[in-house]
Amino acid sequence: MTKKLALIYPSQHSDLYQSSLLFSPLALAYVGAYTPKDWVFSLYDEYVGNVVDPSEIDADLVAMSSLTPNIPRSFYLANKLRERGIKVILGGAHVSALPEEALHHVDSVVKGEAESVWPQVISDFENGNLQKIYDGRMDQDLKDIRLPRRDLIHPNYKFPSVITSRGCPYNCDYCYLSVYKKNKYRVLPVDTIIEDMDRMAKTTDSGSMISFADENVSGYSEKDYENRIELFEKMIKKNYGFVWGAQSTIDIYKKPELLKLMQKAGCRTLFLGLESTNNQSLGNVVNKEFAVGIDYKNAIKTIHKNKISVIGSFIIGLDNQDKNYVKNLASQMKKMNIEIPRVFYLTAWPGTKLYDELKEKQRLKKGWNKVRKDIPSIEYKHFKTEEIVEARKSIYANFYTKPYIFKIVLRWIFKEPKLVKFFLKMIKWNRVKKWELRKLQQEQEESLRKHLEDHFKDTEYAYILSEY
pLDDT recorded at residue 68: 95
| pLDDT above 90 as % of the chain | 73
Q: What is the DSSP string of 347-406?
A: ---TTSHHHHHHHHTT-BPS-GGG-BTTB--B--SS--HHHHHHHHHHHHHHHS-HHHHH
Stated length of the chain: 468
| 409 is a domain residue | no
Where does a domain end: 367, 399, 431?
399
Task: Look at residue 461 and tell me if it is in a domain.
Answer: no
Helix and strand totals (H; E) in the chain: 17, 14
DSSP, res 445:
H
Provide, rounded to the nearest whole percent, the portion of the chain with pLDDT above 70: 92
Are 49 and 111 in a shared domain? yes
Instruction: Assess whether 132 and 191 both reside in one domain.
Output: no
* Same domain? 230 vs 373: yes
Residues 54 and 172 in one domain: no
Are 186 and 328 found together in one domain? yes
329 in the same domain as 281:
yes
Q: If you write DSSP's letter for every residue of 108-123 in order, what string do you get?
A: EEEEE-STTTHHHHHH
Tell me the chain's radius of gyration from C-alpha atoms: 22
For residues 196 and 107, state if they share a domain: no
Give this prediction's pTM.
0.93
Rounded distance between C-alpha atoms, residue 184 and residue 170, angstroms: 9
Judge contact between 344 and 313, C-beta under 8 A.
yes
Evaluate whether residue 407 is within a structural domain: no
| Averaged pLDDT, 231-247 | 96
Highest mean pLDDT among 6-15, 178-187, 248-257, 365-374: 248-257
Per-residue pLDDT reduced to its tens digit, 21-75: 678 999 999 999 999 999 999 999 999 888 899 999 999 999 999 999 999 999 9
Q: Residue 432 in contact with residue 20, Cβ under 8 Å?
A: no
The answer to whether position 287 is within a domain reads yes
**45, containing H or E segment:** strand 40-45
CB atoms within 10 A of CB 16: 21
Q: Is 368 a domain residue?
A: yes
Residues 219 and 106 in one domain: no
- What is the rounded average pLDDT for all residues in the chain? 90
Q: Are residues 60 and 163 in the same domain?
A: no
Same domain flag for 228 and 265: yes
In a domain, 438, yes or no: no
26/101 same-domain check: yes
- Distance, CA of 253 to CA of 300 (rounded, Å): 7
Residue 21 to residue 27: CA distance in whole angstroms: 18
For residue 186, what is the enclosing H or E element?
strand 186-187
Burial letters 359-387, b for 16+ CB under 10 A, else e:
eeeeebbebbbbbbbebbbbebebbebee
Judge whether residue 440 has pLDDT over 70. no
Measured distance CA(432)–CA(9) in Å, rounded: 28
Same-domain status, 178 and 129: no
Q: How many domains is the chain partitioned into structurally?
A: 2
Residue at 408 is within a domain: no
**Residue scoring higher pLDDT (287 or 35):** 35
Q: Which of 339, 371, 399 is the last residue of a domain?
A: 399
C-alpha triplet 251, 256, 258: angle, nearest 5° = 90
> Which of 105, 136, 167 finishes a domain?
136
For 397-419, what is each residue's pLDDT tens digit? 999 999 999 999 999 988 888 78
Domain assignment present for 142: no
Contacting residues for 116 by C-beta, under 8 A, at least 6 apart: 136, 137, 140
Q: Are 349 and 174 in contact (CB under 8 A)?
A: yes
> The domain spanning residue 229 has which CATH number?
3.20.20.70
**Domain with 57 in it: what CATH number?**
3.40.50.280
78-92, 214-228, 312-326, 431-445: which has the minimum mean pLDDT?
431-445
Predicted local distance difference test score (pLDDT) of residue 172: 85
Domain that holds residue 109: 4-136
